[in-house]
Amino acid sequence: MLRVMSAFRGRVARRRRALYGVVVALLLVVSGCGNGSSSAGDAITLYTCVNDETVQPVIAQFESDHPDADVKLFRAPTGDLNARIAGDQRAGGLKADVVWACDPLTMQGYVDQGLVGGWVPAGAASIPERFRTADYVGVAVLYMVAIYHDGVQPPASWSDLTEATYGPVAVPDPNVAASALGALGYFDQTSEFGLDFYRKLKDQGATQLSTPDEVVSAVAQGTSPAGVTIANSAYASKDAGSPIGIVWPEPGAVAIYGPIALAQDSADSSLAKDFISYVASEPGQQVVAKGGSYPTLSGVAGPEIPADAPIVFPDWSALAAEKDSLLGRYQQIFGG
Amino acid sequence: MAARSTSLGFRAGLIVVSAAVALLVVVPVSRLGYVVWTESAGGLGQVWSRPGLARAVVNTVVLAAGVTVVAVPLGALAALALRRSDVPGRAWWRVAMVLPVLVPQFVLGYSWTQAYARAGFTDTVLGVPWPAVQGPWGVWAVLVVNTVPLAYVFAAVGLAVRAEPDLERAARASGATGLTALRSVTLPLLRPSIAAASVLSFVLTLESFAIPQVMGTPSGFTTVTTLIYRDLSLGSDPASFVEALALALLLVLLTIIVVIPADLVLGPRLRVSRVAVTEGAPVEQRGGRAGGWIAAALSSYLFLGVVLPVLALVAAALTPAVGVSPRPDHWTLDNFRLVLTARTFDALGRSAGLALVAATALTVLGVAVAVLERRRSGRILGTLVTLTLVLPGSTLAVALLITYGRWIGGTLTLILLAYLAKLWAFAHRPISGALDRLPLGELQSARASGAGPLTAARTVALRPLAPALLGAWLICVVTALHEVTMSSLLYGPGSDTFAVIVLNSQELGRIGPTAALSVLLTLFLVVPALPVWLLIRRLRTSTGATGPAAPRGVADVR
């Protein structure tokens, strides 16, 4: 009996040691992962929603030009970025030195809250005026274009999409994608369209999907014969082999620029300013273009764009002022 | 004396766990409430009167109820059916039942539409599309398919831990039909597990986001979570942000309304205390063609709910682009090449470490709450830890960021805290549902015979609970690995998780790489799952052979 008991205890002790071993190993895994890179030099934090393929090469090039500099990156879709910034604000202040947004409305929101702005690099002057304000400067552009499934007659203009042949047109949700909100703003501001354009699309059975990427998938799958989406996403999919065609329709593809701005709390960080200046400079813009985004600086060649492609620009300050009522009116058409 | 030390231990445990609940649940949720209260500046009325909110709330509640009343009985039925030894390939079906959870939610919507929508699999191959898949019915169907495994696990764990086969035998021997024995003996014993599964299913549907967003919103079907997503997307405007938080608190309120009565009234009544002796082998049920029918029903469920959507996913991972037909001559590994980078593996390792640590800690926390809630003073704990489960990931992440970001913002520790807060109920409910063989008397006699507290707990309490603990642990590992929103919102330099890679791939606008990532993630789960499954089988056999049931077997032989 006693022997049995002691054998039993021995087994328990061995098992317990094994258990401790596992726990310690697990803790090591986690703590080992926690050791981020630390650098002796200057460091700044960049918050952005720009995709990795564009932002990583920009950071890599900047860091190789400034060997002591360390650019820490937080990248997330606009919704998450908003949540993170709002969280930061209520936990001791914005942790970013530089914010690179994907649309001017989001950035204007940060400016209005006194989080960013008040400074643009000297080089910003060479970027077209419609892509900048006194608080931020556009360093990349998205173009809202029309796409169609192979075999469908390409639409020549935006109004063509309201014809029955293209129904049900897939459109991105302006409540979710700022690029879609930019397009909504443009159509609403342009007398030949107005919200009637959306009403006609809806009458043809238009489907509202969440993001421009989902529009590309729907048109490529053939669920919708045509759709409204951003050019980068459409070309990437077409180049990979998706059966779609891309049109820059009359009167023009809608341009949505992605601005970069300095955090108010980092107003004296020369490294943050250097980074912004670099992204807006010609070498920076070339890296942006190589990463697959359309640059704002004229003269820098970017991704595919047809010769003489027509381009239109929403009035962003007007759009910022009437965003809520516009979305309310849009909601009456698309419901939900 | 033993009683006094137990009560001291209970009190100490209550203090520690209450502190953890305060840290992970009460303080973060209160912080959200505080932000909404102070920053809405009287505009809260505007939030409630928002057009479309009432409909979204109704949609959310009806969906949650609709998913629960179908998925939970289906899961319980499957668990009961798989007790029958005449189902061909029973061991395989038991594993197959949980397969749907291995497909990450972030690709589930895509794989279902690809399988069933217009121009999808069934349309091109059979000419039978199911257009309603993009709408409320599709959302409901996918959520049901994804909830059934959860209900199945709960019921199977409940059966493994709670069943009284000897009682069933007695009922049958006294002339009860199989159905009567099921109704009067087995089902009443399963009730706590079924109640736990129902609460969790309801709450999980309330907070589900990816499926309603991808499959519901195109047809104008909105839920509270899709409204929250919209608000955050436009959230550089403080009013939208506060509105999102207010809506998240509305979900908490809905949970309180449903779960508190269930927990306080139903919970204690369903709980019983029994001796820790495990019963003999389950009742053998055979006869007729029932086994064949069960296998046929399970295979059609798995074919429609798992195989077709997974095939669609694998096809997407292997074809170069959406809309290219997945013929073998189009197959390419480009998508895999694109995502198989050192960074992906770093992130995957980090996510795996986080998931393992979180699941292990959660199992301990789950046991703690399940034990403490059985006394009056600890009863509310189980309900409280459910409140953070219903918070959509984005708002829970914001809550933790606001509360602790000042000190640990951007670290893995904060992500770990978020996982603990989010998944505590996930670990607690299955254990709580199974924990009625809490053999206090036997624990005390073990202590009186000289066993240390740990030894007593391990040998007396742990053994019969092992299936429940393992079930809870596995659910937590899988859910933590699939988690996308919280870690992608909370990460910092050097703490990017797999979710960050997934979201980035999604943003590049091509489904192929995202599908490839999900296939990788699934393989990553399945490959280690195999040895774990074998281990469970061994554990089960060894429980049968050397557990407390053995002497009874010997007695029977005599």
* Confidence at residue A111, expressed as pLDDT on a 0 to 100 scale: 96
Query: Which tens digit of pLDDT belongs to each residue from A107-124?
Result: 999 999 999 999 999 999
Q: Is B418 exposed, middle or buried (0-12, 13-18, 19+ CB in 10 A)?
A: buried
> What would the mean pLDDT of B196-205 be, rounded to a whole number?
90
Residue A33 pLDDT grade (very low, low, confident, very high; cuts 50, 70, 90): very low
Instruction: Please name the residues between 68 and 107 in chain B that touch chain A, using a CB distance below 8 Å.
Output: none
Highest mean predicted confidence (pLDDT) among A7-21, A244-258, B312-326, B475-489: A244-258
Neighbours of B96 (CB within 10 A): 18
* Confidence at residue B285, expressed as pLDDT on a 0 to 100 scale: 60
Contact B405 A87 (CB under 8 A): yes
What residues of chain A lie within 8 A of the CB of B238, using their CB? 86, 113
Residue A97 pLDDT grade (very low, low, confident, very high; cuts 50, 70, 90): very high
Contact B322 A242 (CB under 8 A): yes
Average pLDDT, chain B: 83
Neighbours of B401 (CB within 10 A): 28
Backbone φ, ψ for residue A149 (5° rounding): -75, 145
CA distances B303 to B68, B90, B294, Å, are 22, 17, 14
Distance from CA of A95 to the nearest CA of B (A): 9
> What would the mean pLDDT of B157-167 be, rounded to a whole number?
78
CB B417 within 8 A of CB B22: no
* Confidence at residue A336, expressed as pLDDT on a 0 to 100 scale: 53
CA distances B21 to B42, B384, B468, Å, are 30, 7, 22
- Asked if B473 reaches chain A (Cβ–Cβ under 8 Å), the answer is no
Instruction: Please name the residues between 279 and 308 in chain A that touch chain B, using a CB distance below 8 Å.
Output: none
- Asked if B335 reaches chain A (Cβ–Cβ under 8 Å), the answer is no
Instruction: Please name the residues between 130 and 169 in chain A that touch chain B, using a CB distance below 8 Å.
Output: 149
Contact A79 B241 (CB under 8 A): no
Instruction: Please name the residues between 400 and 429 in chain B that touch chain A, using a CB distance below 8 Å.
Output: 401-406, 409-413, 416
Largest Cα–Cα distance of chain A, in whole Å?
96
Assess whether pLDDT exceeds 80 at residue A4.
no
DSSP label of A66: S
* Confidence at residue B275, expressed as pLDDT on a 0 to 100 scale: 54
Of B3, B12, B133, the closest CA to residue B377 belongs to: B12
pTM: 0.86
- Where would I find the beta strands (DSSP E) of chain A? 43-48, 70-75, 98-100, 137-149, 170-172, 207-209, 226-230, 244-247, 253-262, 311-312
Q: Which residues pair with A227 in a beta bridge?
A: A147, A170
Of A103, A71, A54, A149, the closest CA to residue A261 belongs to: A103
Token pair in block for residue B461:
């309490």
Token pair in block for residue A91:
């936990």
* Confidence at residue B546, expressed as pLDDT on a 0 to 100 scale: 37
Backbone φ, ψ for residue A81 (5° rounding): -60, -45
Distance from CA of A153 to the nearest CA of B (A): 18
CB A182 within 8 A of CB A144: yes
Of B105, B82, B85, the closest CA to residue B95 belongs to: B82
> What would the mean pLDDT of B92-107 be, rounded to a whole number?
83
Higher-pLDDT residue of B40, A295:
A295
Rounded CA separation B206/B528 (Å): 31
Residue B176 pLDDT grade (very low, low, confident, very high; cuts 50, 70, 90): confident
CA distances B225 to A277, B201, B211, B221, B245, Å, are 39, 16, 10, 11, 11
* Confidence at residue A100, expressed as pLDDT on a 0 to 100 scale: 97
- Where would I find the beta strands (DSSP E) of A197-252? 207-209, 226-230, 244-247
Query: Which tens digit of pLDDT belongs to each residue from B277-288?
Result: 555 566 666 556
Q: Is A222 exposed, middle or buried (0-12, 13-18, 19+ CB in 10 A)?
A: buried
ipTM of the complex: 0.85
Of A94, A42, A48, A84, the closest CA to residue B414 belongs to: A84
Of B413, B427, B351, the closest CA to residue B385 belongs to: B427
Residue in B52, B504, B510 nearest the CB of A75 = B504
CB B81 within 8 A of CB B291: no
Residue B115 pLDDT grade (very low, low, confident, very high; cuts 50, 70, 90): confident
- Asked if A53 reaches chain B (Cβ–Cβ under 8 Å), the answer is yes
Distance from CA of A176 to the nearest CA of B (A): 5
Distance from CA of A250 to the nearest CA of B (A): 25
What residues of chain B lie within 8 A of the CB of A212, using their CB? 509
Q: Which residues pair with A247 in a beta bridge?
A: A146
Query: Considering only alpha carbons, which residue of chain A is nearest residue B495?
Result: A34
Query: Which tens digit of pLDDT belongs to each residue from A243-287?
Result: 999 999 999 999 999 999 999 999 999 999 999 999 999 999 999
Query: Which tens digit of pLDDT belongs to each residue from B335-381?
Result: 899 888 888 999 999 999 999 999 999 999 999 998 898 888 888 89
